[in-house]
Amino acid sequence: MPSTPLPNLLSSLVLLSLLASWVSAKSILRSLPDDPNILLSTGRSSSSDDGQYCDSWRLSVETNNAGRWATVPEKCVVFVQAYMEGEKYRSDSDVVAHDSINFAKDVTLAGDGKDIWVFDVDETLLSNAPYYAANGWGSNVFNETSFNEWVAQAKAPALPASIKMYNELLGLGFHMVLLTGRMELQRNVTEQNLLFAGYSSWTRLILRDVSDIGKTAVAYKSGKRAELEAEGYRIHGSSGDQWSDLLGLPMAARSFKLPNPMYYIS
């Protein structure tokens, strides 16, 4: 029996190997799902997709593109918790404080006691994260009664970036005006909490009076800024976690929005 030349034999083996690989690849491709986002046998696609959506949802909230919203989407609760408890929230707050101080350093103050910086209180100076941690991280409809019970304890901690910025602004010569949506009846516990958290030396603490009940936050806070300007105050900066803390005429020369994906106030 004549022998097959070695080169021809090798070529045939290579050809058969390539053919087998091609058939196998076609078989695998047929078994893949039509949706390329589905990860086979890992079970991670749902969590990954939720994380991407929730990051985008938070961006929409922070830029006010989302408009009025009532609660955190159910699938985003775990992501809001991770954000609020993690380094990203602190980092975002640090950047806002850094930008605020950079602006403040370029402001020329008159030195007459009328150069002010307006601060909101909740989620701006004080953190209510302990309350929201026990109440669904914003996934539950706001309960005024239980929140007021928390406020009455006067134990909300300071936001680290905010208290540092607050003290730096005092050092630069700004006078602090605190403008909060809390009620006048909560003045004592609010002052107690601010002092407990390390804040001091504010020029004025403004709370909602009976005549302010029913006003939107924008109407109430812009109205108070108008009163301050009528008294001769110059509002160089304003800091708040809600767009309603900052919008409405008159506005500060510069407004700085702090992060808060837990709730919305109009």
pLDDT at 40 over 90: no
Q: Where does the pLDDT of residue 49 fall: very low under 50, low under 70, confident under 90, or very high at 90 and above?
A: confident
Q: Give the tens place of pLDDT for each residue, 180-192.
A: 999 999 999 999 9
Residue 221: both structure tokens together: 């806070």
Q: Taking all residues of the chain, what is their mean pLDDT, rounded to a whole number?
A: 88
pLDDT at 43: 36
**DSSP H or E stretch at residue 45:** helix 45-62
CB 240 within 8 A of CB 258: yes
Q: What is the mean pLDDT of residues 18-43?
A: 39
pLDDT score at 229 = 98
Averaged over 54-78, what is the pLDDT?
A: 97
For 125-168, the pLDDT digits (tens) are 999 999 999 999 999 999 999 999 999 999 999 999 999 999 99
CA distance 120 to 122: 6
Predicted confidence at residue 22, as pLDDT, reads 43
- 232 — alpha (psi -120 to 50), left (phi > 0) or beta? left
pLDDT band at 46 (very low <50, low <70, confident <90, very high): low
| End-to-end CA, the chain | 94
Predicted pLDDT of residue 39:
32
Which ranges in 126-216 belong to alpha helices (H)? 129-133, 144-152, 160-172, 187-197
